Structure 1
């Protein structure tokens, strides 16, 4: 017989049955079932479980009181499959084992845990189709909800059906964009039939219609509410517009059913409601502690609202909440006290601490200490939201004001790590109310500055961090000054003030000391004075060993945002590329996705300078995919320069990026966009626009960007007749070449000397010779182009053709379309025809297909590609089949010779 709550649910059942049918054929299906309390979501999940013949069924459900325990919901879903943990790749195995408290290790990145769950479930489904059912998702702990959303977006070619039920209205669960099934009230006929089936006697048709209308066809309301109606209530329809939510009415209805039960039965039900795991062993232990016998269970089961077995299950979540909500505070505290007493502190210390906290009203240091220990374990498992909640609760129960303020500061730090910036600031305000403590105040000031930077308030961040650094000592002070300088440079505001505030390096200096000292000197005393210090700082950062203990945070602090900036400022391509590659490896190994986005852009810029636009495009796409995975936005640095070099309608893209950066106060990005605009305009031959864009960057002392813009300024100004600007650019580059004579710097100085009219033939030849021994193919091609253009203007057509042909071939092969067209036009002016080159037939792939094809061509296996792109191996194989079809090939060997590009580029 069909469940009463499934009356009139033909369309919903068809959608769910369709999801099962698709999964049986190897096509994943995800369905988010939304609806109000009592609408029948749980009944629909039960239907899926009952009709999943041939499937393995895994289930989990959110419990409101468990939202502070990290990975509680996810663990419940995965626990039947943990015997397969050893089959996961090592980084995934470590991440998931640490998240579930099975092993001890560094806090895992949430997305590495997500990838591990995806791989685990995909492996289970290889043997037999799998259906995963998630009920009451609105009550899942945050990391479980985020992980399931991550997995749901990556299910494609696995025999898996994932059905998630979530109550509306609910907090945002990051489920946007997933297929949805909205469950609404029953239609009038179905609702009336269901109501008739539970009524004890006849009902006036007008009253019946009013009840159907006021319940909005909610099946649980139609079934449960009539059970205790009086004749008078039936006569007037019961439902009075008192403003109460339907869920509250249902809870009261369940309470009315439970109220007549004996006191011991209600106490037993309260134990079950307060123990979220449904652990029957704990239930009976607690019942024994309270002196309850077996009889209360029989009376409770007779109501049909609860089932006792290996697991204790309430008929509906509203039954659990009704039991708990309508108990008095002393009754709830007694039950939690008993549950804490029967919970093994060695096997489940966190749940024991959780019960003790709920049994405690007055401040109690022993309970606060247990919560603080639980917070430490939560942080070790990567649950920053839970860490913050537990520390905040520990602070509330801390009797000592000074210690309470310390715990509030720690909770604020965890809130910031979890992205809850306003909540973190609120906790910092609470910590400020504690007894005077200069050390704590300095730490709080640093955290405020870090939060300001997170909020893209660069100038505010710099001021706060400088102030905090002045009150800190040793390593913390130096790191805070470096953070302040980085914030000021990002905003291009308050840079000089932050630089002057930085103290001199200690003896012997650390890498942090050297980088801080180099940047401060560069910004206060200029390039020449800082050059030896910048060189020493870059060498020190390169010498840091990734494997050394406690160096990870230093590597992030000094990576592409500090050491990399200095390498670019020195025009040291080899050092910059080495740092970029190391940062990418480190970010991949640790699952630090936001840091990976920055590192990918840094590495992509080096690929662009080397002329490998395809590799750079891959990194740009990965930045975009990572932003999509994390819910953030792409860093986008490299995308701007890539568009400029390609010369394909890039002006609008660059202008949009600059406008957005201006609005967010990101002056450094604005300067980068100006440099990219100059590159684009020089390629197109629009030298006035290039001159103006490059001069805006040149006029600002932007570390790293200014050196790149100087060459663009000289080239453009030489074409517009602005000799003074050419001279100014040459003076700037000559200063750099004298202080740091790298091959790149010397080559650019020789080029600028030629542009300024100093023995151009010799200077252009010198520039080409210097660049020929470097990976800087774009610079080399442009040097040939400039030399060829000068030779043509001098009337030396035969000599010009040699360099213009080289420039045309190189720029065409690299995909620098604007520069290639410029070289072609110059060749035509010498009397030689140059056709536009084509790389061959190019089949456009989707961004994901492009990424997979590139990695497969590099020799990565399907599991390795899946790890890189957060996909299951089976989904990678599915995409590869589509790639092979589009490229008309049949093997990875043929893929190595194929030419392909991303759609829309």
Structure 2
């Protein structure tokens, strides 16, 4: 293939990518740069060099951004004959997303996993290179799924390469190939290669200067110039001087070239530009209605602006944009109206509605109603962004003020669900400009409060939610109670940074006066009554309500309702020290958030689950979920503190990482009023310093974490339990006996009412730290017994460590070694490096050299966290497709990782994993 001028290094990168894919690896790459800089040429080079590979393409089209999964369908359409090879849930999700079957809205992750399966199956026959150009114009659903794919490719022999001017946040962190302007010598060579006649030196220099090395500009700027202009020695006329922006320069060149075309040709190009499908038959049918003859395409083809083949393809996206934007509005409306007339209302009703909407010159209830129906179909396919776009357009076309206000409210709600938070305030304003019923106004207030909660996680949200709840009391008592519960959630997250009137105790007092449920209390009612009692009357008063809520949760409720209340339910389990239910509910939370494609909820679900796994000692899986949460946050642009990441880094004993996370968190959460993050940060700091044996620093951090409540006697759910446990240990080791004993009594008041093994184990461990002699020894043994019955293995390992340290100080070295060896083995297997090193130091102090890991766990042979996670799931009996579905990997990648596991552990079958895995947290 002809080498691109001045692009040797970029071509080398693409050649290496193809070589890796041919060798059985997967690669992702983001090719980014300004319009016309040569991204598409490089992608064409890639396609040409991919001999021996299959090449599949998709391109983002600005006018198609409202159609859910449009770009993903472009990419996957040639592979749909392999759908039957996918597991049924994935197959159904993809068919629903593509409108091939009716069904409930598919989970975005299930669609992504299905697409991953298709790519993997296709690449199984021959390596596959997927090229996605103009990524910045992908529809939202496709952009999210393709970004997920890019992060989950493994050993499928797939290359996924994006081209983008300004890539969306979905692709943050992917390997990049920045494409910049050509150096002057290469720019000069490219310009001269495109010229057919002499070029005056000053003109050449001006073109090169104005093009800034942009290849498309270098090729376009001389077009349309007369020989005299190019070679006459007078330079370019002042009137033709190019605008300062390179993109504007190119657009102006295309605008001149389009402007001189015959009227029928311009009309044909407008039809093609207005139709995002690139379907030539559709374009020609529309052209026939406008009496545009077939020979009208000739001048545009000869000018190099468009190709009419299997698809209609413009030379560059800027050509499409120039053709469309330069046409008068009435001509655009005519084009859309004609395209709507020739679009099949049965086979493609949504695109027909979209064209009708763009053709409308005034409000039209018939078109608005059709858009509303399209929104319903889009939402059923999981296309919330598309549904919101249809509704938003419908608002503008609705003539009746009351109906327009109602649709604006529906559009605002759908935008909110889709995570397009920036659009919600304007739509709410449009809704409130029209007549709203009292109930609709209350819903608008509620949506505004929910928006404040999701975007800021604190600050004004508790107060706004409390006000919305009060407004709902005489209208809908059930919704009012649910809103009070949301207000308590918001106040929990806002903590000390809540706006006055929105502090937790203030919200709890308002909630206590809420109307009682008309029927038997449901789980949300029990949660509300339990939390209100906890804050108003004390820990013990809330326990019966919260325990009944946990017992009843999930019985006779829909998945949607479960998802609605799962965070507070997991919080209740944590508050009650119920590790068993915390484990089950946090897993369910992630499952439902993924299934629903609830990207605004998923980061909180992943963080909640990760926190549970940290206490369980499964740091490997917690790392995976933390990384996934970061990707979702980046994709949605939501604001969310790195709760689990701070705890993970603390347990791993990484001071620099913890400090960096705390520093970045402090400024962010202070701005948006997310006070609980300050306490989580200080708890993580205390955890880190206790692990490192820096007890005064741990004590100070734990005290700051416990300052969360404005009211000193308030038993605050969540991290207060954890921070108190850290404070007892740090204070006891720092000689601050009074602080240790006072905090122990605070813990004991809770744990006696809770009575779970986790609670009693932590209470016994704290009691041992503040007592001496046989009472301390009995307390340590009680702690180990209770914690040994729980899922919180990290707590158990620390109990062994503390007991071993106590025994060493009693000069009972043999017994101390037994406890310290147990602690070190557990802590090393979990990856709790600082605590493991602390156990090692104590072992050395007993006169024993701390044991090293066996040869099978030598650095070069250790399993990665990802391999260990896959190995554990395989050991537990999951098949490769089941592991892939759990971890969002293709079965082929799972098999690749298992091959590495078998080699590193020197085993040959899954049946041997049980014996080989214990040192990996098995």
Q: Is the 8 A contact 2:613 2:621 kept in 1?
A: no
How far apart, in 2, do the equivalents of 1:119 and 1:896 lie? 29
Aligned to 2:290: 290
Partner of 2:586: 580
Give yes or no for contact 1:279–1:312 (8 Å, CA) kept in 2: yes
CA contact (8 A) 2:808 2:816 kept: no
Question: After the TM superposition, which of the residue ranges 201-210 and 743-752 deviates more from structure 2?
Answer: 743-752
**What is the CA distance between 1:51 and its match in structure 2?**
5.1
Match of 1:210 in 2: 206
Please name the residue that 1:178 is paired with. Answer: 175
**Change over 3 Å in CA distance of 1:153–1:827 after alignment to 2:** closer
Distance, in Å, in 1 between the alignment partners of 2:8 and 2:807 is 80
Contact between 1:28 and 1:156, CA under 8 Å: does it hold in 2?
yes
Q: Secondary structure at the match of 1:91?
A: helix
Q: Secondary structure at the match of 1:492?
A: helix
C-alpha distance in structure 1 between counterparts of 2:293 and 2:371, whole Å = 32
Alignment of 1:715-864 (within 5 A): 724-725=738-739, 728-729=742-743, 731-736=745-750, 739-746=753-760, 755=770, 760=775, 764=779, 773-774=789-790, 804-815=816-827, 833-841=847-855, 842=857, 843=859, 844-864=862-882
Aligned-residue offset at 1:770: 5.1
SS at the partner of 1:459?
coil
**More off after superposition, 739-748 vs 376-385:** 739-748
Separation (CA, whole Å) in 2 of partners of 1:70 and 1:146: 11
Aligned to 2:273: 273
Residue number in structure 2 paired with 1:499 = 508
2: CA distance between counterparts of 1:499 and 1:109?
A: 35
Question: Structure 1 pair 775/280, CA: closer, same or farther in 2 (3 Å)?
Answer: closer
Identify if the C-alpha distance between structure 1 residues 339 and 470 changes in structure 2 by more than 3 Å, giving closer, same or farther: same
In 2, the alpha carbon distance for the partners of 1:822 and 1:131 equals 50
CA drift at 1:100:
1.5
Match of 1:346 in 2: 346
Matched, 1:874 2:892: yes
CA distance in 1, matches of 2:438, 2:420: 25
Contact 2:871 2:913 in 1 (8 A): yes
Post-superposition shift, 1:125? 1.4
Report matched runs for 1:426-437 at 5 Å.
Answer: 426-437=426-437
Is residue 311 from structure 1 mapped to residue 306 from structure 2 by the alignment?
no
**Aligned equivalents of 1:402 and 1:420: distance in 2?**
24
- How has the CA–CA distance of structure 1 residues 897 and 179 changed in structure 2, closer, same or farther, with 3 Å as cutoff? farther
Q: Does 1:555 align with 2:562?
A: yes
Shift, 1:58, TM fit: 2.0
Change in CA separation of 1:729 and 1:309 when aligned onto 2, cut-off 3 Å: closer
Distance 1:250 1:558, change over 3 A: closer
Return the match for 2:110 from 77, 89, 112: 112
Alignment of 1:882-893 (within 5 A): 882-884=900-902, 886-887=904-905, 892-893=910-911
Following the alignment from structure 2 to structure 1, what is the Cα–Cα distance between the partners of residues 685 and 486? 29
Q: How does 1:321-336 map to 2 (within 5 A)?
A: 321-336=321-336
Deviations along 1:546-582, whole A, 9 cap, x unmatched? xx5xx223322332x3122222222233333332343
CA change 1:176–1:739 in 2 (3 A) is: closer
Q: Aligned partners of 2:738, 2:395: CA distance in 1, in Å?
A: 65
Cα distance change of structure 1 residues 556 and 193 upon mapping to structure 2, 3 Å threshold: closer
* CA displacement, residues 718-756 of structure 1 (integer Å, 9 cap, x when unaligned): 566656545544544454355444344455556666645
Show the 5 A alignment for 1:615-630: 615-628=618-631, 630=633
Q: Is the 8 A contact 2:32 2:176 kept in 1?
A: no
CA contact (8 A) 1:391 1:408 kept: yes
Deviates more, 1:240-249 or 1:402-411: 240-249
Cα displacement (A) at 1:432: 2.8
Tell me the distance in 1 between the aligned counterparts of 2:536 and 2:304: 78
Taking the aligned partners of 1:762 and 1:887, their CA distance within structure 2 comes to 39
Match of 1:362 in 2: 362
Deviation at 1:337, TM superposition (A): 0.8
Q: Please state how far the C-alpha of 1:496 moved relative to its aligned partner.
A: 0.8
Query: What TM-score do the two structures reach when normalised by structure 1?
Result: 0.86
Distance change in 2, residues 1:366/1:757 (3 Å) = same
Matches of 1:250 and 1:791, distance apart in 2: 79
Instruction: Determine helix, strand or coil for the equivalent of 1:496.
Output: helix
Post-superposition offset of 1:396:
1.5
Contact kept in structure 1, 2:462 and 2:490, CA below 8 Å: yes
The alpha-carbon deviation at position 343 of structure 1 amounts to 0.8
In the aligned structure 2, how far is the partner of 1:176 from the partner of 1:817?
Answer: 27
Query: Which residue of structure 2 lines up, in the alignment, with residue 667 of structure 1?
Result: 675
Deviation digits for residues 687-743 of structure 1 (CA, Å, limit 9, x no counterpart): 555555545555643213334444555555556665654554454445435544434
For residues 53 and 177 of structure 2, the distance between their equivalents in structure 1, rounded to whole angstroms, comes to 22
State the shift of 1:857 in Å.
4.2
CA distance in 2, matches of 1:190, 1:688: 64
Which residue in the other structure is 2:555 paired with?
544
Q: Is the 8 A contact 1:804 1:823 kept in 2?
A: no
CA distance in 2: counterparts of 1:768 and 1:203, whole angstroms: 87
Separation in structure 2 between the aligned mates of residue 376 and residue 736 of structure 1, nearest angstrom: 49
Instruction: Specify the alignment match of 2:712 in structure 1.
Output: none
What pairs up with 1:119-130 in 2 under 5 angstroms? 119-130=117-128
Equivalent pair of 1:8/1:187 in contact (CA under 8 Å): no
* Partner Cα distance (1:702, 1:734) in 2: 14
* Alpha-carbon shift at residue 526 of structure 1 (Å): 0.8
| TM-score computed with the length of structure 2 as normaliser | 0.84
Alignment root-mean-square deviation, CA: 4.0
Alignment coverage as a number of residue pairs: 882
What aligned pairs does 1:28-67 form with structure 2 within 5 A after superposition? Answer: 28-50=26-48, 52-67=50-65
CA 1:109–1:627 in 2, change beyond 3 Å: closer, same or farther? farther
Give, in whole Å, the separation in 1 of the partners of 2:527 and 2:246: 62
Say whether 1:371 aligns with 2:371: yes
SS in 1 for 2:130: strand
2:499 — aligned with what?
none
**Residue number in structure 2 paired with 1:74:** 72
Q: Quote the Cα distance in structure 1 between the aligned partners of 2:509 and 2:211.
A: 69
Quote the offset at 1:359 in angstroms: 0.9
Task: Write the distance in 1 (CA, Å) between the matches of 2:377 and 2:536.
Answer: 45
How far apart are the structure 2 equivalents of 1:265 and 1:327?
13
Local SS of the residue matching 2:471: coil
Q: Give 2:411's aligned residue.
A: 411
Q: Gaps (5+ residues) in structure 2?
A: 497-502, 710-714
Of the two structures, which has the highest relative contact order with CA contacts closer than 8 Å and spacing of 6 or more? 2
Q: Secondary structure at the match of 1:429?
A: helix
Deviates more, 1:481-490 or 1:833-842: 833-842
How far, CA to CA, are the matches of 2:353 and 2:443 in structure 1? 28
Match of 1:532? 544
- C-alpha change, 1:293 and 1:481, in structure 2 (3 Å) is same
Instruction: Identify which range, 775-784 or 492-501, moves more after superposition.
Output: 775-784
Q: Distance in 1 between matches of 2:94 and 2:835?
A: 50
Task: Give the superposition deviation at 1:515.
Answer: 0.5
Contact 1:723 1:756 in 2 (8 A): no
> 1:783 and 1:736 mapped to 2: Cα distance?
19
Whole-Å separation in 1 of the counterparts to 2:873 and 2:265: 62
Question: Are the structure 2 counterparts of residues 539 and 161 from structure 1 closer, same or farther at C-alpha, using a change threshold of 3 Å?
Answer: closer
Q: Does 1:514 align with 2:520?
A: no
Contact 1:514 1:536 in 2 (8 A): yes
Tell me which of 138, 144, 147 is aligned to 1:146.
144
Name the CA shift for 1:668/1:307 in 2 (closer, same or farther; >3 Å).
closer
* 297-306 vs 503-512, which moves further: 297-306
Please identify the structure whose Cα radius of gyration is greater: 1
